[in-house]
Structure 1
């Protein structure tokens, strides 16, 4: 049976005064969520999404991984919409989400926004996700050279994210991709606080470290040494094979403050309350 073995690190950085990144690391689900900069209550959006998404995946272990990914995205968005409706100060909150779910036989990637997923295999690094940003759209259309993308003034303009606005029906649609992986592969999930400052060559070099926690810590430190201009979160996972393990996982970043997770008791939206209640029960 396939599963993840790994670790993660989340750091506020050297410029921001609080952490809007959230992450979860577990044996069958892992994710990174980055509250979209400039939006209200980014830390609430990322914490709620990480909490609900992780709980949904754990509660549905053994179900088709692609179905689980779609479900966790919808349930997270239900809670964001409900949370924004309950508190006007949360209007406009949004978050990225990059998650991997393993059903014991295969791994499926769910991705929306500009956090990233990478694969390291035999020393070679390959990006598994595509940024949902204005600059990536320019690159895809051939209107921008790759060497110009890193310093483009609009490189952080996100076109798709999980949002609390009920009328944004298509803005949250994730890319759902079945990954062709094998035991021994290493995955990296990270926020743009890493990739804006650390190039792929350095990322590949550090991912070669034997210990996943050491790799996550050194990658985070590399971002801090490069300026630490944003929150930075790195989750490093090794795909392993063996008997099923029992365990929930570890919360990182903003989601460690459970008060940031939308309280279902304050929200009168039945579907969203059911999703959030399930999350709270499953994680605890």
Structure 2
């Protein structure tokens, strides 16, 4: 019987004082805390399973509050996410929830978060994102980014930017979001990497792909985290590796 493993890790990095990332895998959430080693969960294939990373917007209040709110909302809605329209509606609810929470507490005004993830269905996978957290498909022939960064064009010679053109929350007045959504067939052996930019900013995509070719499961997640730390660990590092087994 086909099954899924989700191996996840969330770490503060070497520079930030606390972790503003959150993660959801099915009913399991990890909010603003640190895992010292990769955690692996196993799920049957069938009921929609959501795996997502939310990265609270740095430099604005309540990043950890916004990211936690979003992953908990997705955990509750996960089993109902049977198609693109359901995911679109869920992300709209998440966006409205972040704004509503900010309105109730002046100290949380302008809090916001990115989100990126995948809903694994019985025969397909639905990838979604708002912001610059990323989802990659990892296959034998290399790494392919499936998500779409919501960030302005890069200056010549620049590989990364902290600027966002879209997020859940993040402004004083409500702003609707247009999530990026794509659906692909699902096969045994498929792997998807969901991560915050605490991994992809310091670690080039070619290195991420190389590590995923060499390793799988917990070892792959550990080596990716280690690469980000060795590159300076400038931001919170959160990642989940989804693998379809049989």
When normalised by structure 1's length, the TM-score is 0.74
Q: CA deviation at 1:53?
A: 1.1
Partner of 1:183, secondary structure, is coil
Deviation by residue 1:87-109 (Cα, 9 ceiling, x = unmatched)? 01110001000011123221111
Q: CA deviation at 1:20?
A: 0.5
Among 138, 163, 166, the alignment partner of 1:160 is 166
Higher relative contact order (CA 8 A, sep 6+): 1
Among 172, 185, 191, the alignment partner of 1:186 is 191
Deviation by residue 1:156-201 (Cα, 9 ceiling, x = unmatched)? 101100006573333x221111124422111111111111111112
Partner of 2:224, secondary structure, is helix
Partner of 1:16, secondary structure, is coil
Partners in 1 of 2:111 and 2:100 — Cα distance?
11
Contact 1:7/1:25 (8 A) holds in 2? no
Deviation by residue 1:40-89 (Cα, 9 ceiling, x = unmatched)? 1000011111111122113x1xx532133113212212321221111011
Match of 2:102 in 1: 84
Match of 1:149 in 2: 158
Among 219, 239, 264, the alignment partner of 2:224 is 219
Match of 1:7 in 2: 7
Partner of 2:132, secondary structure, is coil
Contact 2:169/2:175 (8 A) holds in 1? no
Structure showing the higher strand proportion among its residues: 2
- Give 1:265-276 correspondences, 5 Å limit: none
Are residues 1:74 and 2:106 paired? no
Among 40, 44, 47, the alignment partner of 2:65 is 44
Q: CA deviation at 1:34?
A: 0.2
Q: CA deviation at 1:3?
A: 5.2
- Where structure 1 has 5 or more consecutive residues not aligned to the other structure, the ranges are 139-143, 242-284
Q: CA deviation at 1:112?
A: 0.7
Partner of 1:236, secondary structure, is strand
Are residues 1:240 and 2:245 paired? yes
- Where structure 2 has 5 or more consecutive residues not aligned to the other structure, the ranges are 27-42, 44-48
What is the number of equivalent residue pairs in this alignment? Answer: 225
Contact 1:117/1:127 (8 A) holds in 2? yes
Contact 2:99/2:174 (8 A) holds in 1? no
Among 98, 114, 120, the alignment partner of 2:132 is 114
Q: CA deviation at 1:2?
A: 6.2
Partners in 2 of 1:85 and 1:127 — Cα distance?
35
Q: Please, what is the CA RMSD of the aligned residues?
A: 2.0
Q: CA deviation at 1:210?
A: 4.5
Match of 1:257 in 2: none
